[in-house]
Amino acid sequence: MKRVDIEPGAQAMTPVDIELKVLRLPIYTGAVVSLLALIAVPFTGSQAILLDGFFNLVYLITGIFTYRVGRLLRLGASRRFPFGYAPLEPLVNLIKSLLIAGVSMLSIWYAVSSLLTGGTDIRFGVALLYAFVSAAVTISMAVYVWLRYRHLQSPLVQGDLAARVIDALTAFGALLAFVIAYLLQAYGYTQAARYVDPILSLALVAMTVGIPWSLGKGALAELLYMAPPPSKTEPIEATIRQALKAVPLVALDIRTVRIGRSWEVMIHAQLGPDTEMNTHAADECRQRVEAALAGGHDQVRPVLVFSHHAPEPLR
Confidence band, pLDDT 50/70/90 cuts, at residue 7: very low
More confident residue, 71 or 239: 239
The whole-number pLDDT of residue 13 equals: 64
The whole-number pLDDT of residue 12 equals: 59
For residues 200 and 61, membership in a common domain is answered with yes
* Domains contained in the chain, number: 2
The whole-number pLDDT of residue 269 equals: 92
For residues 59 and 102, membership in a common domain is answered with yes
For residues 236 and 187, membership in a common domain is answered with no
Choice among 135-149, 196-210, 221-235, 272-286 with the minimum mean pLDDT: 196-210
- Identity of the highest mean pLDDT range in 69-78, 197-206, 227-236: 227-236
The whole-number pLDDT of residue 65 equals: 80
For residues 239 and 206, membership in a common domain is answered with no
Of the residues 223, 246, 268, the one at which a domain ends? 223
For residues 270 and 197, membership in a common domain is answered with no
Residue 9 inside a domain? The answer is no
Q: Kindly state the average pLDDT of the residues 233-249.
A: 91
Range(s) of the domain holding residue 263: 230-307
Residue 146 inside a domain? The answer is yes
Q: Which CATH number belongs to the domain containing residue 135 in this structure?
A: 1.20.1510.10
Confidence band, pLDDT 50/70/90 cuts, at residue 252: very high
Q: Kindly state the average pLDDT of the residues 162-167.
A: 78
For residues 174 and 216, membership in a common domain is answered with yes
pLDDT tens for 8-48 read: 444 556 666 777 777 787 788 878 888 888 888 888 777 77
Q: Kindly state the average pLDDT of the residues 93-110.
A: 82
Of the residues 204, 223, 242, the one at which a domain ends? 223
Residue 124 inside a domain? The answer is yes
Mean pLDDT of the chain: 81
pLDDT tens for 39-87 read: 888 887 777 777 777 777 877 887 788 788 777 777 777 788 777 787 8
Q: Which CATH number belongs to the domain containing residue 280 in this structure?
A: 3.30.70.1350
For residues 101 and 178, membership in a common domain is answered with yes
The whole-number pLDDT of residue 161 equals: 80
The whole-number pLDDT of residue 146 equals: 86
For residues 42 and 182, membership in a common domain is answered with yes
Q: Kindly state the average pLDDT of the residues 157-172.
A: 78
Residue 315 inside a domain? The answer is no
CB atoms within 10 A of CB 171: 29
Residue 8 inside a domain? The answer is no
DSSP letter string, the chain: ---B-SSTTSPPB-HHHHHHHHHHHHHHHHHHHHHHHHHHHHHH--HHHHHHHHHHHHHHHHHHHHHHHHHHHTT---SSSTT-STTHHHHHHHHHHHHHHHHHHHHHHHHHHHHHTT-----HHHHHHHHHHHHHHHHHHHHHHHHHHHHH--HHHHHHHHHHHHHHHHHHHHHHHHHHHHHHHHTT-HHHHHTHHHHHHHHHHHHHTHHHHHHHHHHHHHHTTPPPPHHHHHHHHHHHHHHTTTS-EEEEEEEEEEETTEEEEEEEEEEPTT----HHHHHHHHHHHHHHHHHH-SSEEEEEEEESSPPPPP-
Confidence band, pLDDT 50/70/90 cuts, at residue 153: low
For residues 157 and 239, membership in a common domain is answered with no
Of the residues 203, 223, 243, the one at which a domain ends? 223
Share of the chain above pLDDT 70, in %: 93
Residue 25 inside a domain? The answer is yes
Confidence band, pLDDT 50/70/90 cuts, at residue 2: very low
| Cα–Cα distance, 89 to 194 (Å, whole number) | 42
